[in-house]
Amino acid sequence: MTVRIMRFTKLLLGLGLAACAWPLSGQNARQEIYADPDKAGGVYYAYTYDNPARTPAPEGYEPFYISHYGRHGSRWLLRASEYTEVLETFGKAAREGALSEFGQDVLRRVERACSDGEGRAGDLTPLGAEQHYGIAERMFESYPEVFRGNARVDAQSTVVVRCVLSMAAFCDQLRRMNPELEITRTANNRTTRYLNFFSTAANPGPAPEYLNLLKSESWIEAEEGFRESRMHPERLMARLFAGGKVPADIDQRELMQQLWALTVNEQDTRSGITFRDLFTPDELYAVWECVNYRFYHQRGPGALNRGYALRYATALLEEIIARADSALVRGVPAADLRFGHDGNLMPLTCLMAFDGCTAEVSDPGLIADAWRDYRISPMAANIQMIFYRKEGTADILVRILHNEHEMYLPLASARPPYYKWDDLRAFYHRRIAEAKGTAAEPPSAGALQAPGA
């Protein structure tokens, strides 16, 4: 895989492509998070539309087909245990008289946050639906040619409720803007096989090497070493516990990360229950860096996953290509919409060679600036492939958006970010072949449930 990334870098430099998916602010990850602490949420970062620049289509070309993959919108914390475990820790400490006055105040906030999240773990928040209303509205307004008359819109989702509701919000907005659209919606294990290619329920027969990745000795040693070098909970613990004495049965880094989760999730729930005052900017950044490190190696181009993440993502990219080919044969305005999870979008962006999504780095300290999860897969993250045609020519052009930012790919084009479909299709088939040949041994589709999902 390293050889592949080197080829990618050389080609990118050779093409002289300076444009990328994000404004060139010159900020590193630490500076970005200091300026906007919500970004410390990583995959909990609430989707933000910043009105990015758009390159006009070449003269005479009009959009007629859209292929889309979107992550569900903002949600509550993924698992009920993320509420109950931190509540139990504080409750036990309170009963033992171990909490400081400040710790008792935090306990009251934890109780309120847990009450707000009770029975809602993993559920879409109202903000999550709003995000998809907005993305759908902008898509419709930007490409009205695709959604005119009774154009076909086929929407597919994983079986997870937050994805189904995200699909519903997106489709409802399109129908409000054009009631004549022919919209179909599907969510079953068949669609989940490629939309959430890590789902063991939809894809039996996981590769043991990837399934057991987080339990492997090499993973534990690498991750724990990184966490110890970054997360320093001593100051926070001294504030929470009376006399600065932390009960011996408390895993301080784990408690720090649990409180981080409550802190960053407030932007998604809008509960008004804040924990931001618990953390210094350095501490908030440190926890994010550790979580980002895990996603990089589990779902991104990191060496620890041995190429499995990209290998699994090939099923989704193959489905995207096949559906696009079918749409081009029909030749009528249409859109294919897909709704899934962050853990699937992450390797897909790498497989599709998006800027900021492909870098392999050997120094763990450089991961944060090379690969930032809040840019790649915030809540409601999305990929849009817009297909254009011109009367009198057989050439089909494609422009790709990642979170509504134009993608400049390591692929020759006379008019970037517009690429000939024949060239782009061939490029992605090469990427697919390389990814399938990179995994340590070919795994069957489906291995590990996405942790952030």
Nearest to 6 by CA among 360, 435, 364: 360
Nearest to 69 by CA among 255, 398, 340: 340
Query: What is the enclosing helix (H) or strand (E) of 440?
Result: none
Residue 85: inside a domain? no
DSSP type of residue 22: S
- Any residues with CB less than 8 A from the CB of 438 and at least 6 apart, and which? 1, 4, 307, 310, 311
Residue 213: inside a domain? no
Residue 400: inside a domain? yes
Distance of CA 342 to the CA centre of its chain: 3
Q: How far apart are CA 302 and CA 438, in angstroms?
A: 13
Bridge-partner residues for 37, per DSSP?
none
Residue 92: inside a domain? no
Q: Whose structure tokens read 């993608």? A: 407
Alpha helical stretches, state H, 331-364: 342-351
Residue 256: inside a domain? no
Query: Considering its fold, how many domains does the chain have in total?
Result: 1
Q: How far apart are CA 200 and CA 221, in angstroms?
A: 26
The sign one gets for the Cα dihedral 422, 424, 425, 427 is positive
- Cβ burial of 10 (10 Å; 0-12, 13-18, 19+) is exposed
Q: How far apart are CA 258 and CA 276, in angstroms?
A: 13
- For residue 330, the domain's CATH number is 3.40.50.1240
Q: What token pair was written down for 226?
A: 């990184």
**The pTM is what?**
0.91
Longest Cα–Cα distance of the chain, Å, equals 80
Q: How far apart are CA 339 and CA 326, in angstroms?
A: 20
Residue 432: inside a domain? yes
Residue 335: inside a domain? yes
Per-residue pLDDT of the chain (453 residues; tens, 9 = 90+): 333 333 333 333 333 333 344 444 579 999 999 999 999 999 999 999 999 999 999 999 999 999 999 999 999 999 999 999 999 999 999 999 999 999 999 999 999 999 999 999 999 999 999 999 999 999 999 999 999 999 999 999 999 999 999 999 999 999 999 999 999 999 999 999 999 988 888 887 557 778 788 788 888 999 999 999 999 999 999 999 999 999 999 999 999 999 999 999 999 999 999 999 999 999 999 999 999 999 999 999 999 998 999 999 999 999 999 999 999 999 999 999 999 999 999 999 999 999 999 999 999 999 999 999 999 999 999 999 999 999 989 999 999 999 999 999 999 999 999 999 999 999 999 999 999 985 444 333 333 233 345
pLDDT score at 206: 56
Query: Strand (E) positions, 294-381?
Result: 334-340
pLDDT score at 211: 77
233: preceding bond cis by omega (within 30 degrees): no
pLDDT score at 26: 73
DSSP type of residue 186: E
Domain that holds residue 342: 2-78+123-205+281-438
pLDDT score at 46: 99
